[in-house]
């Protein structure tokens, strides 16, 4: 390539890599490819679309030395949609309200059992392995959706940015292991499988529960909302035991 053309390409890259357009496109393209692969493997748990799309995107940012803030200037349009998407979970939930009402007792008991298990087991294991108090407090709300979890963490002496990281890791892990674990437990009840997924792994696991079945997704969305509220009450109480 002649020198002038090289320079033009370099200039174009400087322009594009700083514009929201490139990174918005990269996010959508990575997702489209990841979702294709996930569908082609018949939604194999390890071919989770969030996991499959995150790895190449993060590698691309590292290779091109693109700061996260530059990436986020484009990706924020996708990120913004999380709010309305959370609200949208209400619609299929309302459509199945009869079933939810009929299962109100198992929902309530499983909610308390799961929420306490999530907090106690995470904090207890990390404590036994010698993690300091700030790390325990950051870990306590790991199963609930990021904004709630960060709010809880800052209230009980945790580090909100560490919590945000742990929440996403927990969500992806839940999405990956929920299906195989349900098969291991011979769990054929889509409501129970979905409810456990949403309770343990918030929105990321809810998204993958919707791939398993509509009912699993609806109960995951219900668990996400209920456990978000319950954990914000229980986590501060549980952490009092460790102070």
Partner 1 sequence: MLPAFAVLLAFQLIGESLARILHLGIPGPVIGLCLLAAACIVNHRLRDFTQKAAHPIISTLSLLFLPAAVGVVQFLPLLQSQGLALGVAIVVSTALTLAVTALVFRFVVHRMHLEERE
Work out whether 17 is an interface residue with partner 1 (CB under 8 A).
no
Residue 195 burial class via C-beta count within 10 angstroms: exposed 0-12, middle 13-18, buried 19 and up: buried
CB of 243 to partner 1, least distance (A): 18
Q: How far is the CB of 32 from partner 1 (least distance, A)?
A: 9
**Stretch 92-151 residues interacting with partner 1 (CB under 8 A):** 92-95, 97, 102-103, 105-107, 109-111, 113-114, 117-118, 121-123, 125-126, 129-132, 135, 139, 142-143, 145-148, 151
When asked if residue 160 is in the footprint of partner 1 (CB under 8 A), the reply is no
Instruction: Give yes or no for residue 216 binding partner 1 (CB under 8 A).
Output: no
| Rounded least distance, CB 2 to partner 1, Å | 36
The residue range among 9-17, 39-47, 196-204 that interacts with partner 1, by the rule CB under 8 A, is 196-204
Considering only the stretches 3-11, 12-20, 39-47, 79-87, report the one whose residues sit in contact with partner 1 under the rule CB under 8 A: 79-87
Q: How far is the CB of 148 from partner 1 (least distance, A)?
A: 6
CA distance 128 to 135: 12
Closest residue by Cα to residue 221 from 197, 242, 192: 197
Tokens representing residue 125 in the block: 């294991």
- Cα–Cα distances in angstroms (integers) from residue 98 to residues 104, 109, 223, in the given order: 10, 18, 16
- Residue 237, token pair as written in the block: 């109480």
- Among residues 210, 201, 196, 225, the alpha carbon closest in space to that of 110 is found at 196
**Position among 22, 45, 49, 160 found at the interface with partner 1 (CB under 8 A):** 49
Stretch that binds partner 1, among 3-11, 14-22, 39-47, 83-91 (CB under 8 A): 83-91
CA-to-CA distance for 192 and 64, rounded, in angstroms?
44
Chain centroid, CA 87 distance in Å: 16
Smallest distance, partner 1 to C-beta of residue 14, A: 21
The CA distance from 83 to 88, in Å, is: 9
Please, what is the Cα angle at 119 between 116 and 123, to 5 degrees? 140
Report if residue 192 touches partner 1, rule: CB under 8 A.
Answer: yes
Asked whether position 158 contacts partner 1 by CB under 8 A, the answer is: no
> Least Å distance between CB 45 and partner 1?
12
Pick the binder of partner 1 from 22, 75, 137, 238 (CB under 8 A).
Answer: 75
User: Among 172, 234, 238, 239, which residue interacts with partner 1 (rule: CB under 8 A)?
Assistant: 172
Tokens of 215: 């009912």
How many CA atoms does the CB half-sphere of 108 hold within 13 Å?
5
Number of residues that bind partner 1 (CB under 8 A): 110
């Amino acid at each position: 390539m002649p020198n002038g053309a090289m320079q033009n390409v370099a200039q174009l890259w400087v322009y594009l890599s700083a514009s929201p357009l490139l990174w918005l496109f990269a996010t959508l393209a990575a997702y489209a490819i990841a979702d294709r692969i996930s569908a082609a493997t018949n939604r194999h748990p390890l071919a989770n679309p969030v996991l499959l799309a995150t790895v190449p995107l993060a590698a691309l940012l590292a290779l091109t030395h693109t700061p996260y803030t530059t990436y986020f200037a484009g990706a924020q349009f996708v990120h913004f949609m999380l709010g309305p998407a959370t609200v949208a979970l209400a619609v299929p939930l309302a459509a199945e309200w009869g079933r939810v009402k009929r299962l109100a007792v198992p929902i309530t008991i499983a909610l308390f059992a799961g929420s306490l298990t999530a907090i106690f087991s995470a904090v207890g294991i990390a404590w036994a392995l010698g993690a300091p108090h700030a790390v325990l407090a950051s870990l306590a709300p790991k199963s609930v959706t990021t904004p709630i979890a960060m709010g809880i963490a800052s209230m009980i002496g945790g580090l909100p940015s560490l919590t945000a990281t742990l929440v996403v890791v927990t969500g992806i892990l839940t999405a990956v292991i929920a299906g195989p674990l349900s098969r291991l437990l011979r769990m054929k009840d889509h409501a129970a499988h979905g409810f456990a997924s949403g309770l343990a792994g918030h929105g990321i696991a809810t998204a993958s529960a919707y791939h398993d079945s509509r009912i699993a997704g609806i109960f995951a969305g219900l668990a996400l909302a209920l456990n978000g509220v319950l954990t914000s009450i229980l986590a501060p109480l549980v952490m009092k035991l460790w102070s």
